[in-house]
Structure 1
Amino acid sequence: MANVNRNQSFTDKGMEFIEVWDYVGEASFRGFIAEKQMGNATEKTLFLFFQELAGLPLKEGLVALIELATDCYNCDRLVICLDRQTHALHQLIRDLGWVGFELITLSHWIDDGRNPRTGKEGTSGLADTSDFWLFVGMEL
């Protein structure tokens, strides 16, 4: 059902890029796996970018992506990045909500320099939203 290409050149830096082809749904997804240190544990998140999905069947591909994230990469989360210009975006978000996705920001992955004791903000200046992408995520 799906073919996965891995770009190993960035693996040494803690990030792996992937491209998934869903031959049944006639869609392709590009993404990366990011790691975040959470105390003594490392949390892994699969980020996938969905573009040009109008009218494509996503059910089988989505199930395969969730299995890929959990079984192959041992990810703790899956984040789908949706192009804000996607046709019928609100319906797509609603459909993904039935599966267990919810709208999120990237604040979980941004080290904003907050002092953990005072809660005062640092100076990272990174935005946790995007003008181009809308983020939906789920814990696996």
Structure 2
Amino acid sequence: MKVAYPRRVKGQSRGQPPADTVFFKLIDIEENIWMGAVVDRTLLIYFDKSMADSNMELKAGLVALLDLATECLDCERAVICIDKQLMNLPVLIRNFYWVGFVLLKSPSNVNGGSLSDAWVAMDMDL
């Protein structure tokens, strides 16, 4: 897995001291593109139409991304945000359950910030 276009910005979570946020675009061995951020030791992954439309093999890329999060980025938690308008949403949710993710009860509050109602959020402790 190679890292492309990383950048750091200073952000501030609601009610929290300022924290570093790292935005990333990762290209795995299958050439699938994973986009997201690391905020306060939480890996946020955004799974949208561009990822679902490709016939991507998720397993290798997701395992590599979770390994990177625990071993290199010192993350304690992973949250995957899935676009609600995806045709295969139930299949994706079931597949992410199989990996160990669970649906968040209040997806509008992800890591001190807010998540639009257009997303389904799933959480996993690393």
Q: TM-score, normalised by structure 1?
A: 0.71
Which amino acid letter does the alignment assign opposite residue 99 of structure 1?
Answer: V
Partner of 1:46: 43
Is the 2:7–2:23 Cα contact (8 Å) retained in structure 1? yes
Name the SS of the counterpart of 2:62 in structure 1.
helix
Which amino acid letter does the alignment assign opposite residue 23 of structure 1?
Answer: I
Mark the runs of 5 or more structure 2 residues left unpaired by the alignment: 12-18
Partner of 1:94: 94
Name the SS of the counterpart of 1:30 in structure 2.
strand
Partner of 2:2: 3
Partner of 1:56: 56
Identity %: 35
Mark the runs of 5 or more structure 1 residues left unpaired by the alignment: 36-43, 111-125
CA apart distance, 1:130: 2.5
RMSD: 2.1
Name the SS of the counterpart of 2:96 in structure 1.
helix
CA apart distance, 1:131: 2.2
State the number of aligned residues: 113
Q: Which has the higher contact order (CA 8 A, sep 6+)?
A: 2
The counterpart of 1:107, out of the listed 96, 109, 112, is 109
After TM superposition, list the pairs within 5 Å mapping 1:1-140 onto structure 2: 2-5=1-4, 6-8=6-8, 10=9, 14-24=20-30, 26-35=31-40, 44-51=41-48, 52=50, 53-54=52-53, 55-104=55-104, 105-107=107-109, 109-110=111-112, 129-140=115-126
